[in-house]
Structure 1
């Protein structure tokens, strides 16, 4: 490609820049590298970036990653993918990392087989590789030990195993009944838990965390929701915490007093008859008095309401901080807080006001491993922020897929992608479309050394994000476009707003390559794949019909009684229904799916959405679709019987659906080479796909042989880690 002089980027307008205070360069300091390295407190965040002693462990700052499943393991062992993931966050400046929960006994089965087994003695070797790699970058790492108890399924194992629990109470998620543990079972479990802690120490970890939250076994013994026993392990709080004390005492006896041991404590069950924050305070006092623990790491909720443990974007940042402060007030050991915290200023305030000693920002670190380094260097405006969409992380776990991230395509693929490679032959690229796919492509191309011109026909960037943020609970998604604008500035992208792209303009710009990211266009046909031979619902052309986009932004007002025909099952469809309800309209959703908005389950949106929608008066019917529209009469059909159902009255019909806006792409490919498309103009999908495809395009990964990752490719080194030198 031709070497060309760079053009200065245009000033940004539209989304306001998302910037934190930037201190003078003379007072920015960060020291990394070596096991004993520390991060100096930056004046902007002096409390967050100050060191902390936790038992026998010194950590360089108060930024931490809690335990979380990633689905990278094989046969109960870490893989190189695990190591690469943890090292990226250690290298990025986090003070403390805690591994995803590792299972202490074969009866602790899960919904899949991609958890790690702490009781495997040959795992010591892989653990040493993991911990050594983390220590090289100055972070500390604890191993969380856990037993799933009855909140699991025995079907996940290759054989059939009996689940263990305090009582014969079925899991609210899996519906399988566990065995009520006998004394011999309890004694065996305590011994295995202590053995696992000993193996943890041999593996080079800096400490062990015992899990007493999220409806897992020790939480099940503690919580009245699960514990119906009438022996020494049931009834009073002291009895219900007996097993926890026995585990902690056995661990301490095995590993000694000079090693850090802490707990993950539930703050609240959020269920009638369950544990409350007052119970958490009493448990914290009790366990500190009866056992030697070095810290308390809090969380909340369980399998009855797991969305309260990992809230989507509907709840404010730091939604568990005030409850944490109650535990902190009675604790003589450091207390860690959690709850959707993604801003260093908020985290610093939490520590400064004494509400917690350490701040867990797990999803924030999934989104940006360099979070702590950027905050310390006065570059907080460059942080790529978590939006708590739970699509790339938790949503993938619920499908049994490895964790990634909606806003960070490199998450979980650190070993494959590594640092951005400079362009081998820098040239000029034109990117058409200022939505997330186009912005990500432009950013990545620019950072690699290409000259990049981004053409956006509107005054503002963001594409469909500008629609999504108008729906309840999605306001924080504004930050996606803001972050991408900041990153495009770093890549020196020439952004041209209010500039429709035409073949003539593109020819005039004379690019070496073109990326088309023109997105999608809404449809008003009511087409559904359940009736693939029907292009449009009969009568919809003459009905008062709105697209989903029109319903949200109000460009074509809805009136009277509204029927929303939902073929998507998405959060955006749910958001449209709520927008209309908030405008005072009566809304009925008719969906072809077996459940109302089914694709909100994996991201943990469903429970919160249902509560709001039902309180606002939403009515709905499932397994139905419109056979035709006659004026204000919507004829409905049952999709299982094929029989007509009672017709719905609709003054306004809202239909989901969109199609790729691919006209420019098809025209350009007929006349020039090196034209590629990304995002919804390929096929209408989610934000994850748009950003990921933009990233691949920015790396010029267009060859399918280079583009796609086959299942297991990123974990292939696991056997070498276990059996190699």
Structure 2
């Protein structure tokens, strides 16, 4: 069923520095112009089967990347129907009822999607997925220790019904004109739960040996191949090893991969790593090395003849080239790097590497939608998911903009306004641009944030933004400048919590620690921040050999971190012996420790034996300049932390929104 070739598709011209990336290949029926695949990630960007504007937004996002050169768009969300008894309500992410393939709009909308991608030169596939445990499972054993909803164990009749649902979904995919199908055999999918010795404890023909555990997947593959025939490509997305104890390991993964190839039913294997909750998650955040597990994919590739796709923290075209050149894969998947930079391949092809906007790997693109229930947003690219609005245009009446404050919000606004044709000046009180993010970039795992800030500096230089460093502006200077519009992005000052002794010599602020302030061996971190900073300073100190305890008033650390990022940092800290005290509010800083009070019972306790106390308590907005200007300048705005301290993604999105009003 499989054909591979280096000459079957027209070469993607240019990109001499990346010969492997820009070489063509044929996989099954698909002729790919290069080796870049975009795996699924668009469910938060726009609903292809929702309102018309949702569908248009989804299509515009993927089409922009296909026009850039992405050769394989695995962008059609493919949840199959989840058969349930009347009245049963599934829970959590991945819980579906009718799924996508049963939507009356499926064929028409997917045909539109496929037509747009084909016109842009890309091939299109869709996944077939159903998540395990919501509520269906092979046995009573759950896949994660982090949830405890008891499942419904599938009977033989239930399994047969599911096989027919997969067959039906494949028929709909064929009618919609898709080029191929990818069977989801990973990331807590129901089929993975059957395949895994960790979650499959059945005693019938669907449990026990590998052949039995793989029986459900094999029946599905036979049904799908029987429906689509030889006219479409069929592959499997497969986890190379399981993270849960009792799951299959990397050596077992090679055996499973060989078994799947031996069926003769599939054209490729798409190899990934990680669980949906642990260390690593399958959407690996900033704490992992680029393509960290591609050598594991190479072991599978050496054992098989099928083409291999590798996805997992491939965060630049250079990393993609390295993976391909090393023989670790035939194709690489890139998602977040393409969210961050929609002209990724064009810039690489033209040798404009310093213009490629780097992905920081902070996973806000995932967490905003699924944890905070906010609109989709990329921390570094505020244009992402707004492609339907068209390219960033020139202002109808360009003016003079003064931006006061060179942190992330001020830098992004200055760049967007300059790209829109405005004359822009940027004043910054410090000796460099980047604001407090430049300080945060000193923590372990934050190197991409420093690269992002350096990219922003180069961007401002290319655009001719007049930057003045080391100048702390006052209201008179701003008024005297005479700009048409003023934007105040003066950031935030460290928040000093109302804790007895917090302003004394025994407490050190997190920013000072990151700058290099000395602390003792035993450190207690006062965490009044729901995101990464308290964990990051604990990471820095424990990496340097300090004994660290972190105190949270919440029931868990970092409540705004989603499951795709939390496991990675908590695993790092646990390995170094970092301790956590939860549901406790620090009420006093004492000589040699702190006093804590349980937020529920009110009981107090002295924590002693510490050498230093680190305050990781966020910031307070510094809007004093804005308040002084409101009555003196007609068009003055405030944004970023100067309005209310938040994360990078909030700063860049606010900058985009304000810049849009300036364009209008």
* Structure 2 CA distance for partners of 1:476 and 1:74, relative to 1, 3 Å: closer
* Residue in structure 1 matched with residue 108 of structure 2 by the alignment: 125
Which residue of 537, 540, 544 corresponds with 2:502? 540
1:104 aligns with 2:105: no
Q: What is the CA–CA distance in structure 1 between the aligned matches of 2:543 and 2:304, rounded to whole Å?
A: 44
Cα 1:613–1:233 change in 2 (3 A) is same
Q: Which runs of 5+ in 2 are unaligned?
A: 1-8, 85-89
Equivalent of 1:612, from 569, 572, 590? 572
- Measured against aligned partners, the alpha-carbon deviations of 1:447-498 in whole angstroms (never above 9, x if no partner) come to 0111111112222211112111111222222122022223323432122222
Q: Residue 474 of structure 1 corresponds to which residue in structure 2?
A: 446
Q: Deviations over 1:213-259 (max 9, x none)?
A: 11201111111111111222111112111111111111111111121
Residues 289-304 of structure 1 mapped to structure 2, 5 A cutoff: 289-303=262-276
Partner of 1:626: 586
- Is 2:63–2:116's contact at 8 Å kept on the other side of the alignment? yes
What's 1:566 paired with?
527
Q: Aligned with 1:637: secondary structure?
A: strand
Q: Check whether the contact 2:14–2:350 (CA below 8 A) recurs between aligned residues.
A: no
| C-alpha displacement of 1:53 | 0.7
TM-fit CA distance, 1:132? 0.9
- 1:636 deviates by 2.2
Q: Does the 8 Å CA contact 1:390/1:603 hold for their aligned counterparts? A: no
Specify the alignment match of 1:458 in structure 2: 430
Q: C-alpha deviations, 1:649-700, integer Å up to 9, x for none?
A: 5443222231112122222223212111111011011111111111222223
Q: Could you say which residue in structure 2 is the equivalent of 1:670?
A: 631
Task: Say which is worse superposed, 402-411 or 232-241, in terms of deviation.
Answer: 402-411
Residue 641 of structure 1 pairs with residue 594 of structure 2: no
Report the aligned-residue RMSD.
2.4
Provide the rounded CA distance (Å) in 1 between the counterparts of 2:164 and 2:574.
48
**Hey, what does 1:441 align to over in structure 2?**
413
> Given the two structures, how large is their TM-score scaled by the length of structure 1?
0.84
Secondary structure of 1:326's partner?
helix
Contact 1:298 1:336 in 2 (8 A): yes
1:25 is matched with none
Distance 1:665 1:269 in 2: 53
- The number of equivalent residue pairs is 644
Report what 2:5 is aligned to.
Answer: none
User: What is the correspondence of 1:205-604 to structure 2 with a 5 Å cutoff?
Assistant: 205-303=178-276, 305=278, 307-415=280-388, 417-523=389-495, 525-526=496-497, 536-555=498-517, 557-559=518-520, 561-600=522-561, 602=562, 604=564
SS in 2 for 1:411: coil
| Residue of structure 2 in register with 1:700 after alignment | 661
Return the offset for 1:575. 1.4
Label 1:387 to 1:119 Cα distance change in 2 as closer, same or farther (>3 A): same
**Mapped contact 1:458–1:498 kept (Cα < 8 A):** yes
- The whole-number CA distance in structure 1 between the counterparts of 2:274 and 2:545 is 33
- Residue of structure 2 equivalent to 1:88: 64
Deviation for aligned residue 1:293: 1.0
**Alpha-carbon separation, structure 1, partners of 2:317 and 2:71:** 14
How far apart are 1:543 and its partner, in Å? Answer: 4.5
Aligned to 2:123: 140
- Which stretch of structure 1 is more off in the superposition, 452-461 or 103-112? 103-112
Shift in CA distance, 103/604, structure 1 to aligned 2, threshold 3 Å:
closer
Deviations 1:317-358 (A, max 9, x none): 001210111111122222111111122122112222321111
**CA shift for structure 1 position 401:** 4.6
Partner residue of 1:53 out of 26, 39, 59: 26
Are the counterparts in 1 of residues 360 and 449 from structure 2 also a CA contact under 8 Å? yes
CA contact (8 A) 2:13 2:22 kept: yes
Deviation at residue 441 of structure 1 after TM alignment: 0.2
Q: Distance in 1 between matches of 2:128 and 2:320?
A: 27
* CA offset digits 1:335-386 (Å, max 9, x no partner): 1111111221221122223211111111111111221222122222211111
Q: 1:76 to 1:246 in 2, by over 3 A?
A: farther
2:3 alignment counterpart? none
Give the drift of 1:125: 0.7
For the residue of structure 1 that corresponds to 2:329, the secondary structure is coil
- Closer, same or farther: CA 350–541 of 1 in aligned 2, 3 Å: closer
> Does the CA contact (< 8 Å) of 1:269 and 1:275 recur in 2?
yes
Deviates more, 1:500-509 or 1:86-95: 500-509
The answer to whether the Cα contact below 8 Å between 1:38 and 1:138 also exists between their aligned partners in 2 is no
- Tell whether the 8 Å contact from 2:412 to 2:652 is kept in structure 1 after alignment: yes
Q: Which has the higher contact order (CA 8 A, sep 6+)?
A: 1
Judge conservation of contact 1:70–1:402 (CA < 8 Å) in 2. Answer: no
- In the other structure, the counterpart of 2:614 is 654
Which among 620, 644, 647 is matched to residue 686 of structure 1?
Answer: 647
Q: Is the 8 A contact 1:107 1:164 kept in 2?
A: no
Report the Cα distance in structure 2 between the residues aligned to 1:140 and 1:428, rounded to whole angstroms: 45
Q: 1:117 to 1:505 in 2, by over 3 A?
A: same
Over 3 Å counting, the alpha-carbon distance change for 1:41 and 1:99 in structure 2 is same
Summarize deviations over 1:149-171 as a string: whole Å, max 9, x none: 31x3xxxxxxxxxx222112235
SS in 1 for 2:487: strand
Q: Distance in 2 between matches of 1:113 and 1:282?
A: 28
**Is the Cα contact below 8 Å between 2:276 and 2:564 reproduced in 1?**
no
User: For the residues of structure 1 that align with 2:117 and 2:251, how far apart are their CA atoms?
Assistant: 37
Equivalent residues of 1:166, 1:181 under 8 A apart? yes
Structure 1 segments of 4 or more deviating over 6 A? 74-78
Q: What SS does structure 2 have at the residue aligned with 1:245?
A: helix
Q: Secondary structure at the match of 2:503?
A: helix
Alpha-carbon separation, structure 2, partners of 1:573 and 1:60? 45
CA contact (8 A) 1:76 1:114 kept: no
Q: Tell me what 1:11 maps to.
A: none
Distance 1:179 1:517, change over 3 A: same
- Give the distance between the partners of 2:637 and 2:397, measured in 1 at CA: 18
CA distance 1:291–1:394, change in 2 (3 Å): farther
| SS class of match (1:85) | helix
* 8 A contact 1:440–1:698 mirrored in 2: no
Deviations 1:421-452 (A, max 9, x none): 21111121111122111110011000011111
> Structure 2 CA distance, aligned partners of 1:233 and 1:113?
24
In the TM superposition, residue 306 of structure 1 has moved relative to its aligned partner by: 6.6
Question: Measured at CA, do residues 53 and 647 of structure 1 come closer, stay the same or move farther in structure 2, by a change above 3 Å?
Answer: closer
Whole-Å separation in 1 of the counterparts to 2:213 and 2:550: 45
